[in-house]
Amino acid sequence: MFCLSVSQTGNYHRTVKRTEDAFQACNDIVACFQERARVERQYAQQLSEWSTKWKPLVDASPLYGSLLRAWQCFLSSADRLSSLHSSICRALVSEDGDRMRTWQKETFRKKIFGGFKESQDFETGFSRAQKPWAKRLKKLEKAKSAFHKACRKEHMAREREAHAQGNPDIAIEKQRKIQEETELAHQETEKVRARYEKILEEVTRYAPRYMEEMESIFDQSQEEERKRISFLKQAFLSIHRHLDVTNNESVKAVYNELHNTLMSISEQEDLRWWKNTYGPGMPTDWPQFQEWTPDKKHKKGKKEVEQKAVVMERSVMIGGVRVRALYDYVGQETDELSFKAGEEFLKIEDEDDQGWCRDGYVIFSYKFHARC
């Protein structure tokens, strides 16, 4: 089969082109799995976005107890899976893709003006081996054509001879001449046949040598292709290892934990928690008899007043009413202000029924001594 395939000039070009095709296939493989890496990245991002979107809603949901924890576990599992698929994306690009590019650069030696040195070497080898074979085939084809032409000529001469025999319209001399032509045609046919057979014998004797040379170059091409196939097999196995989440221990851990969390959902535990938190099981402050005690005016010491100064400061910052003193006033108590007519200050709020503001923590209201 190989002899028949290469017996025609230039029929080895498909084998030579295999190097160029393999280089292009590597480019396609890299592009293919870079796109798969983008799919992994997008999936990881979508998982993260999904978890982020639903986390506050799940946390604020009316579910509680083990049922709530189970729902939350789906979101935390998504975060972990998002991280996993991000790592798959990185592995496909930085590990598998870079390895493929490096191997490509080392394996396929490009020529300055295009093409690959390996292709040129195979092209030269096949062409050199096939050149003498093609020359012999051309010579054989020429001898075959001459033989077939002589056979046709002899065949036509015999038909004329058969037509002339027994035909009274053709002179005896003419018939004898036709017989001579037939004999000459037959002799020429035998002569050409002998030449054709001789050339064919030479071609047949040369065929083993030709096959040996062609197969030697073909085997070199096969060895190069074997190395390419072997590398690509390992590359595909590496990609499979990165994509096969069914055998990934991290993925197994995520789904095992999720499954265990779901299996830990307990109706009794959740119902008991609700009963103790909102139902009959919660502590109850039953009404009890309380003695009456008179209200006591509580004044703060200097230290406590200083501690509450921050409260007064904050109150002023929050709001109040700006007022102006109508006349001079000298405080009669330690917690009263002294001021002169025309001074402005903030009135925080109205006094209580005993004339105090903010539970005794801020100064007396001066509504009788000032106006807004």
CB neighbours (10 Å) of residue 345?
A: 17
pLDDT at position 8: 60
Q: Which of 40-49, 54-63, 83-92, 247-256 comes out lowest in average pLDDT?
A: 247-256
Q: Residue range 330-347: average pLDDT? A: 70
Give Cα separations from 244 to 26, 99, 230, 248 (angstroms). Answer: 22, 19, 21, 7
Tell me the per-residue pLDDT of 203-230, one tens digit each, with 9 for 90 and over. Answer: 999 999 999 999 999 999 999 999 999 9
pLDDT at position 282: 83
- Angle of the 117-164 helix axis to the 172-243 helix axis, nearest 10: 150
Q: Residue range 342-353: average pLDDT? A: 65
- Fold for the domain defined by 2-253: Substrate Binding Domain Of Dnak; Chain:A; Domain 2 (1.20.1270)
CA torsion 283→289→294→297, rounded to 10°? 0
Q: Which of 9-23, 164-178, 300-314 comes out lowest in average pLDDT?
A: 300-314
144: helix, strand or coil: helix
Q: Is the pLDDT of residue 183 over 60?
A: yes
Percent over 70 (pLDDT), the chain: 80
Confidence of residue 166 (pLDDT cuts 50, 70, 90): confident
Percent over 90 (pLDDT), the chain: 52
Q: Is the pLDDT of residue 343 over 80?
A: no
Confidence of residue 299 (pLDDT cuts 50, 70, 90): low
Please tell me which of 175-184, 191-200, 268-277, 315-324 the model is most confident about, judged by mean pLDDT.
191-200
pTM over 0.75: no
Name the architecture of domain 302-371.
Roll (2.30)
Tell me the per-residue pLDDT of 302-317, one tens digit each, with 9 for 90 and over. Answer: 555 444 444 444 444 4
- Average model confidence (pLDDT) across the chain: 83
Domain 2-253 and domain 302-371, same fold? Reply is no
Task: Write down the domain spans for the chain.
Answer: 2-253, 302-371
Per-residue burial over 272-299, b = 16 or more CB atoms within 10 Å of its CB, e = otherwise:
ebeeeeeeeeeeeeeeeeeeeeeeeeee
Confidence of residue 352 (pLDDT cuts 50, 70, 90): low
Greater confidence (349 vs 272) lies with: 272
Sheet strands side by side (includes 321-325): 344-347, 321-325, 370-371
Tell me the per-residue pLDDT of 279-293, one tens digit each, with 9 for 90 and over. Answer: 888 888 888 888 888
Q: In the Cβ-directed half-sphere of 69, how many Cα atoms lie within 13 Å?
A: 14
Please identify which residue in the block is written with the tokens 């002294």.
338
